Amino acid sequence: MKSVAKLIHKTYMSYLPTAFPAHYYGMPDGKIYLVFSRFYEVDYGKTGLEFIFAEHKEFMYDYENDIIVNVDELTEKKPVFKETIDKPAPKIKIIKIKRNLNSYGEAHIHLNQEAQKRKKYA
């Protein structure tokens, strides 16, 4: 399967509520999705790892030109640095939480399948 979700930024230390890495992906429909993981309690004293898929509400992604744009400045389309999307108090919307994934690689495959669906309708 060809990769459709483009990895645009990866950080090991982020402003998100996790101690794990965060991956930011540009989608064909212009949205930026982020994937991060965190622990959750399965049972008393037992934890698991869940992967959170969220949409960034402050930035858009020009898929064809590989440019990140601030939503507030869409008319001017001034590109921003990729590191800018990882900021304090980000405005994100959690889309999905998956507990049956084992790695960021599996999370990327899942996100890529979603991107394939979006590309057909974009």
**47-73 pLDDT per residue, tens:** 889 999 999 999 999 988 999 999 887
| pLDDT at residue number 43 | 82
| pLDDT at residue number 117 | 74
**111-120 pLDDT per residue, tens:** 998 877 765 5
Separation of CA 27 from chain center: 9
In the numeric block, the tokens 């590191």 are attached to 83
End-to-end CA separation in angstroms for the chain:
19
> For the residues 91-101, what does the mean pLDDT come to?
94
> For the residues 69-80, what does the mean pLDDT come to?
78
Check residue 112 and report its DSSP letter: H
